[in-house]
Amino acid sequence: MSFHKHVLNNGLTIVGEISPSARSVAIGFFVKTGSRDETPEVSGVSHFLEHMVFKGTPHRTALQVNYDFDRIGASYNAFTSEENTVFYAAILPEYLPQAVDILADILRPSLRGDDFDMEKNVIIEEIGMYDDQPMWCAYDNAKKAFFNEHPLGNSILGTKESITALSRDQMQAYYDRRYVAPNITVSLAGNFKWDDAVKLVEKQCGSWPTGTAPRGNIKPVEPRKYQQVMTKEKLNQEQVFMLAPAPAADSPERYAADTLAMIVGDDSGSRFYWALVDPGRAEAADMSFHDYEGTGSYFTSFSCEPENTQDNLALIQEILREVQHEGVSDEELAVAKSKILSRVVRGSERPMGRMQALGMGWTYLKTYRSVDEELVNFDAVSLKDIRGVLDRYPFDELTVLALGPLAKLE
């Protein structure tokens, strides 16, 4: 594999990892904007805009966009997170020119008023759909409670009220501010020719407007000891989330934090699994590490019968206290490393996986991290590193949110 980078005159960055043995190529346009970049007046606009990008351009209707992707057999989609909006496609190498043309074209959308009004109804329906999913509803509200005033607590979807009030001109203004060339990274991975790819992107994107799209409030989240119960009597299970601070995306401690989360709460063979899932105390119980720009968090969650909630909550808190004070064992560390190394390798075998890793790595760190480097970094995690991250980011103060039939947590 070989890595390449090029910056266009307007500031758009192109990064690529060539794998001659691959049979496909993946390309993604990473726009560094998401819900954390929104004000309350435009809550949900990043995700709404992701939808609008596929509704047509001055050169293509929405139908033509879909037809042109299908004609080259592309696997394509987009997603919006707290920090990024990403548009991507995986194709056979011979169709890279067409894929670049389509993706670059839709990133200059028409944002027609009629399309905006119609898609607004779709977004409102989507918000309602997610509100009906207990796990998602609990997650979104737990995140909001944990981050509190921090912009990472902003809802990705927004609310029915914010989307209803949003105007097409507000979206256009947001687009003009955030979708400037220096705020976009194009990532490629797989079987392609670098010089040809640069020419393709430069032809389609070289005239895009330049500018700055600063991101404010880059700061760590403070621990928040807080408990909230959201009662929904019609639900059959209780969904519980417990959040705590963790290292940021650019922290060397992220490797130890990811490993620790695997030991404590992987969906198989972790402490949570053996204590809650295997004996049937809970349907699911896990811990995951989420890293962001400037901060990070551990997300612990479980779902169970309401009558088991309090005992399970106490059991998880006891496990966290035990890990906090006693650390983890050599055997647990070795097993976690095996799982993570396998995950990294398997993800890297698909151009789509490497394209996303490459794009995210460059967006956050402005550096290239090869698969081998990632393997070395995870393999180097020691018990001392785990102790260090536990001391720096203790589980002492947790934000707890429960959603389900219960009226309170004792």
CATH code, domain with 98: 3.30.830.10
Regarding whether 85 and 45 lie in a shared domain, the answer is: yes
Regarding whether 230 and 201 lie in a shared domain, the answer is: no
Contacts with 53 (C-beta within 8 Å, 6 or more apart), sequence order: 78, 87, 106, 107, 109
Number of other residues whose CB lies within 10 A of the CB of residue 22: 19
Amino acid identity of residue 279, one-letter, is P
Tokens 């435009």 found at: 42
Tell me, yes or no, whether 125 lies in a domain.
yes
In this structure, which long-range contacts are made by residues 202-206, counting pairs with CB atoms below 8 Å and at least 24 apart in sequence?
202/8, 204/100, 204/101, 204/104, 204/105, 205/8, 205/10, 205/12, 205/104, 205/181, 206/8, 206/9, 206/10, 206/12
Tell me, yes or no, whether 251 lies in a domain.
yes
Q: Which two structure tokens, joined as six digits, stand for 326?
A: 């006693």
Per-10-residue mean pLDDT, the chain, length 410? 95 97 96 96 97 96 96 97 97 98 98 95 94 92 94 95 97 98 98 97 97 91 93 93 96 97 94 96 96 96 96 96 97 96 91 95 91 95 97 95 92
Tell me, yes or no, whether 211 lies in a domain.
no
Regarding whether 304 and 241 lie in a shared domain, the answer is: yes
Contact criterion met (CB below 8 Å) for 321 and 306:
no
Strand partners, 289: 298
Choosing from 17, 38, 41, 50, which is the catalytic residue? 50
CA neighbor of 15 nearest in space, from 255, 343, 377, 369? 369
Which residues span the domain enclosing 301? Answer: 226-404
Regarding whether 232 and 93 lie in a shared domain, the answer is: no
Rounded to two decimals, what is the model's pTM? 0.94
Tell me, yes or no, whether 410 lies in a domain.
no
50 is catalytic: yes
Regarding whether 245 and 152 lie in a shared domain, the answer is: no
| The pLDDT value given to residue 347 | 87
| The pLDDT value given to residue 233 | 87
Tell me, yes or no, whether 218 lies in a domain.
no
Tell me, yes or no, whether 301 lies in a domain.
yes
Number of domains in the chain: 2
